[in-house]
């Protein structure tokens, strides 16, 4: 039997679905009153049905450990060569459920070989994206360039890709509240950027995303948050140190597009790639990618609420006073890392709320 586990699954619904599929597989009539049976009765029926049979049950996309705890007692160990398979996005759930049960094994899905990946893309994935491409004029190079640059906006508005968006959003929506801000923060980093682990942890702490816990430093708690995002496969390890510790991380392009949309919807952060970009009325966090905003433009009136400023690939540096003439007295995070800064920014002396300043790899 193949049972798909929904994100907001009720245990009795899960057991009822399993029972119905088992009766269907063995071509027996479903007992009367199954729809109103409580969980203990459902477990008993399933166990009696499978007691002397060799069975394979697949629980697809399981989200929570309590779901497995509830259904495992309905599945008898009958020494008939039966097997139970669980698919999950969460590494910790896979390891815990397999270690609790005897002879359990965890299989980590490995990337396809290049030729196999290309075949799958052409055969399956292109069917979805072709719906987007089919609407474009083949003679308009600018439209195809836009697709190349802005797949994220196409995901937002094109119904052909709604399923893809929904699947990715499920993983975000399942995050506990304390991880959502940490994950949204990744939207500020450029595409394909390798994020240094300690830089990310220090930024999270400076932003106030990390809650202190008894017996742990905030750094330890931040490490736990990072491990949880890795366990949920929302982050990927890009590079490790010689002793196996995580050194740098990256986020998949499609997931990044999703959190950029989420970040924009919640006015969590603003990314500037062009000088005259139109920004929200109140900027809270600002990431500059490769360019500086026009100091005479709209930013003048919108940075009074600015809390964080990060710069990536900026080739020239203006003083903060010239960059934001309207003032930025609430700034708490200022990250100049890897920028061509030659003099210490004197405006920092007036930033009384500043808790994080990075001048790493500058020319100071």
Tell me, what CATH number does 43's domain have?
Answer: 3.40.50.300
User: Which of 132-141, 200-209, 352-361 holds the top average pLDDT?
Assistant: 200-209
Residues 243 and 298 in one domain: no
Assess if residue 326 is contained within a domain: yes
Look at residue 355 in the predicted model and tell me its pLDDT: 92
Q: Is the pTM of this model over 0.85?
A: no
H-helix or E-strand spanning residue 85: strand 83-88
Please tell me whether residues 189 and 278 are part of one structural domain: no
Residue 131 — very low, low, confident or very high, per pLDDT cuts 50/70/90? Answer: low
Alpha-carbon separation of residue 14 from 67, 68, 268, 298, 347 (angstroms): 8, 10, 37, 53, 60
> Torsion angle, CA of 56/59/65/71, rounded to 10 degrees?
-60
For position 204, which CATH number holds?
A: 1.10.10.10
**Which of 222, 254, 286 corresponds to the end of one domain?**
254
pLDDT of 163 higher than 70 = no
Residues 306 and 284 in one domain: yes
251-282 residue pLDDT tens = 887 788 889 989 988 889 988 876 555 556 67
> Domain check: are 282 and 216 in the same one?
no
Find the length of the chain.
Answer: 364
Looking at 127, 155, 170, which one is the last position of a domain?
A: 170
Based on the domain organization, do 279 and 332 belong to the same domain?
Answer: yes
Which is nearest to 234 in space by CA: 191, 180, 194, 271?
180
Same domain for 315 and 243, yes or no, is no
Residue of higher predicted confidence among 272 and 298: 272
Q: Which one of 129, 146, 170 terminates a domain? A: 170
| 105 occurs within a structural domain | no
Domain residues for the domain of 161 are 114-170
Do 195 and 222 share a domain, yes or no? yes
Mark residue 244 as left, alpha or beta (left: phi above 0; alpha: psi -120 to 50; beta: remaining): left
On whether residue 259 sits in a domain, the answer given is no
HEC assignment per residue over 288-303:
EECCCCCCCCHHHHCC
Residue whose structure tokens are 């959003």: 169
Q: In the chain, how many domains are there?
A: 4
**307 pLDDT exceeds 60?**
yes
What is the rounded average pLDDT of the residues 180-209?
Answer: 93
């Amino acid at each position: 039997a193949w049972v798909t586990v929904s994100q907001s699954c009720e245990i009795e619904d899960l057991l009822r679905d399993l029972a119905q599929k088992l009766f269907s597989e063995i071509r027996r009539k479903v007992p009367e009153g199954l729809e109103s049976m409580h969980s203990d009765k459902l477990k008993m029926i399933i166990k009696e049905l499978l007691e002397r049979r060799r069975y394979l049950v697949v629980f697809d996309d399981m989200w929570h450990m309590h779901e497995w705890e509830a259904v495992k007692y309905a599945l008898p160990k009958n020494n008939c060569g039966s097997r139970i398979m669980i698919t999950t996005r969460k590494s910790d759930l896979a390891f815990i459920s397999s270690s609790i049960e005897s002879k359990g094994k965890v299989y980590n899905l490995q990337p396809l070989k290049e030729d196999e990946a290309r075949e799958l893309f052409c055969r399956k994935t292109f069917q979805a994206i072709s719906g987007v491409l089919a609407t474009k004029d083949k003679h308009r190079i600018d439209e195809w360039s836009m697709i190349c640059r802005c797949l994220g906006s196409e995901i937002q508005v094109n119904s052909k890709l709604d399923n893809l968006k929904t699947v990715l959003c499920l993983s975000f929506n399942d995050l506990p509240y304390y991880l959502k801000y940490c994950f949204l923060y990744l939207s500020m980093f450029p595409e394909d950027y390798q994020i240094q682990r300690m830089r990310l942890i220090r930024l999270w702490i400076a932003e106030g995303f990390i809650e202190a816990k008894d017996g742990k430093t905030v750094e330890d708690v931040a490490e736990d948050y990072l491990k949880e995002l890795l366990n949920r496969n929302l982050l990927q390890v890009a590079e490790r140190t010689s002793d196996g510790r995580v050194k740098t991380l990256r986020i998949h392009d499609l997931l990044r597009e999703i959190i950029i949309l989420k970040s924009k919807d919640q006015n969590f952060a603003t990314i500037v790639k062009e000088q005259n970009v139109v920004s929200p009325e109140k900027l809270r966090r600002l990431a500059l990618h490769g360019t500086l905003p026009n100091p005479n433009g709209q930013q003048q009136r919108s940075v009074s609420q600015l809390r964080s400023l990060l710069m990536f690939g900026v080739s020239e540096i203006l003083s903060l006073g010239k960059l934001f003439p309207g003032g930025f007295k609430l700034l708490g995070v200022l990250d100049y890392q890897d920028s061509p800064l030659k003099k210490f920014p004197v405006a920092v002396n007036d930033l009384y709320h500043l808790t994080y300043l990075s001048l790493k790899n500058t020319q100071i």
